[in-house]
Chain A
Amino acid sequence: MRLVTRPHPTPGPDRPPTRLRPVADPPVLEVRGLRAERGGRVVVDGVDLRVDAGSVTALVGDSGSGKTSLLRCIVGLDAVAAGDVLYEGARIGSLDPCELRRRVALVAQSPVMLPGDVRANLLYAQPGADAPAALASVGLDTALLEREAEELSGGERARVAIARALAHEPRVVLLDEPTASLHAEAVAEVEGLVGSLASGGIAVVVVTHDRAQARRLADSELRLERGRAVPAQ
């Protein structure tokens, strides 16, 4: 059982300050003793993680610490050598991989835009989706719909990638360094978007190098070093 701080009740004179409290609800996503290897090298080693609906979890660590590998294992893009990943209590091996990726959306670092305009990107996963609404939901102007996706700025690409990932209404969103190489204004916009997703009941896992950002955004933090979970500093 993990201790979390969400929801955040506002402290007041007749209410004690926020305290860690036990959560009894089953997690939407759980990782148990996960081990992954790449080219004979262990990249994730015995990691546990519990993610609840509406929470934000920061995954922090240096380059090569296994953060991206952990996210890839969760959505089944990389094979798991040992341990389990459970989505809504079911082992991911028992689920249709494509359906799992619709429920647990991964947004890669430096997201790749699909060929074509922004509308084509937004409709790739769900051709019948409301593209203007999807774009508006991430705070972008609908005039961007006809723009070639490759021409977008870094901040616009990050938000279009998130909007694209939301097409299937996932319960979990995994963001791999969503603000890397963005300017301060775009960072604030993406961080605001993370908060909105969590407020909407989506569980968000954010990979970041930035400890201050982790503190700003997250309810809980998992720190990785050389593939192993270590106590958060």
Chain B
Amino acid sequence: MTGVLVAIGLVVVAIVLSRVLALGLERELAVTAIRAIVQLTVVGLLVTAVFEHLGLAAGFVALMFGAAAFTSSRRLREIPRPIVAAGGAIALGAATGLIPLFASGAFEVTPRELIPIGGIRGAMAATSLTGRRLLDDVQGGVPLIETRLALGAPVQVALRPLVRRAVRGGLIPVLDQTKNVGLVTLPGTFVGLVLGGADPAEAARVQLTVLLALLGVELVAAVTCALLVARACESPGQRLALTGRVDMA
């Protein structure tokens, strides 16, 4: 309990810092922390029951997926039906990791392994980062994009460099995390297993499997999200949507 109180104290420090530095993140930090406390408390209470029944575990994974899709879609509000783009990207990304890992027998299809190995968190992070980056770049790069259109390029060709940049940006966290694993950070799965009494070598093997799988999960999620967002930025007649151009002449 002391640890939780100290961590809450750190959140308060972050909120104060945000206020002092005029970052405007106070409300989001507070809401995020409160959400995490409530969600993990509820999960802690439910997890015992969920771990006992595969059906409940599947329902729990579906709930995780829905929450992740909703969270990412809030970053993509400018496009029509953002929940479809976010949900599609997360589902495809997570499936990329889940299917080979469970089909090959690397993990058993049991509630205890299905829930933490889902890969939804990584897919959500890549989706949010990639989609947001692409939308920002499109909105900030209208003159350059329309220059390409005026030279006869289709919208998707004109957006291609922005799509590539957004995907690269969306993968920075997982790439840095994987490069520095064991050096700068001890990732959650490893720490959890070791604290739970597992052999550190076995914990490292599980963590390595998860981390490497996440590279594929996040790449697929990021690419899917970028392609869906790019498609949403196109209007009929090879026009750019979301332009917000100011007419000066």
Contacts and interface: CB of A to CB of B under 8 A. Distances in A.
B247 A68 contact: yes
A168 B152 contact: yes
**Best-surrounded residue of B154, B161, B247 (most CB of chain A within 10 A):** B247
Nearest to B249: A68
A109 B249 contact: yes
Interface string B152-180: 11100000010000000000000000000
Interface string B132-162: 0000000000011011111111100000010
Contacts of B149: 77, 101
B238 interface: yes
B151 A165 contact: yes
A114 B248 contact: no
B81 interface: no
Given A106-B150, A112-B144, A76 B238 contact: yes
Interface residues of A, number: 38
B239 interface: yes
Contact of A112 (B147, B235, B239, B247): B147
Nearest to A115: B161
Given A77-B146, A79-B237, A114-B147, A101 B248 contact: no
A104 B21 CA distance: 51
B123 to A, nearest CB: 31
A124 B150 contact: no
Contacts of A63: 248-249
Nearest to B153: A98
Given A97-B237, A97-B238, A98-B238, A69 B147 contact: no
A171 interface: no
A177 B249 contact: yes
A164 B151 contact: yes
Contacts of B235: 79
A141 interface: no
Given A63-B248, A79-B235, A97-B237, 14 more contacts: A38-B245, A65-B249, A76-B239, A77-B239, A79-B239, A99-B152, A108-B147, A108-B150, A114-B144, A114-B148, A124-B151, A124-B153, A165-B150, A165-B151
22 contacts: A63-B249, A64-B248, A65-B249, A67-B249, A69-B249, A76-B237, A76-B238, A78-B239, A79-B235, A79-B239, A97-B239, A98-B153, A98-B238, A99-B152, A101-B152, A106-B150, A108-B143, A109-B249, A124-B148, A125-B151, A165-B150, A177-B249
Interface of B: 143-144, 146-154, 161, 235, 237-240, 245, 247-249
